[in-house]
Amino acid sequence: MNPITESNDRMAYADERVIEWLAANVEGLHGQARMLVDDYWRRVSQERKKYPASQRGRLGVRIRRRESAYSFTIEWFLIASLSIDGQTKPVTQYIKKGKGYRYPLQQVLKKEPDWEAALVEEFENEFADLRKQVDLLGKFRDAFHRCRRGLRKALD
C-alpha cells in the first residue's frame, strides 16, 4: 500500500472517530437538556393547577436542534393569547439571550408570579451550564474543522 494513501486512510479514520465523539457528547447534553425541559413543564403544570389564571405565569422553554452543526439551543419565551375572530390562540415571543450563557430574566421575572420566578431561576442555572458546554464543544468542532482543512491543504 502507498504510504500516502495509508496515512490518508488513518487520518480519515481518526477524523470519523473525532466526529463520532463530538456527536455523542452533544447528544448526551441534548438528552440532559430534554430531561430538564420536560421536568420544567411538569412542574409548571403542577404549579398552575394551584393558582387562578392571573397567577399561572407566562414563561416557557424549548430546545432548538442544529443538526448540521452538532449543536442545539435552549430558549425561553413568553406565552400570550391572541383573540382572532372569537377564537383564542396562543402566541409566543422569544426572549433574547444576549451575551454570555445566561438569559437576562430579571426584568421579565418582575412581572411573573413568585413561584414561576423561583422555578425559572432554578432551571436557568442548569441551562446556563449546558449552554456553556455546548459552546465549548462548538469551539472544539470549529477548531477541529480548521485543523483538518489545514492538514489536507498541506498534504495536497
Q: Could you read off the pLDDT of 84-106 as tens digits, one per residue?
A: 888 888 899 999 998 999 999 99
- At 149, is the pLDDT very low, low, confident or very high (cuts 50, 70, 90)? confident
Please list the residues that pair with 88 across neighbouring strands.
83
The radius of gyration of the chain from alpha carbons, rounded to an integer in Å, stands at 22
Residue type, 31: G
**Mean pLDDT calculated for residue range 31-58:** 94
Taking Cα atoms as reference points, which of 29, 37, 58 lies closest to residue 124?
A: 37
Are 116 and 101 contacting, i.e. CB atoms less than 8 angstroms apart? no
Taking Cα atoms as reference points, which of 20, 91, 99 lies closest to residue 60?
A: 91
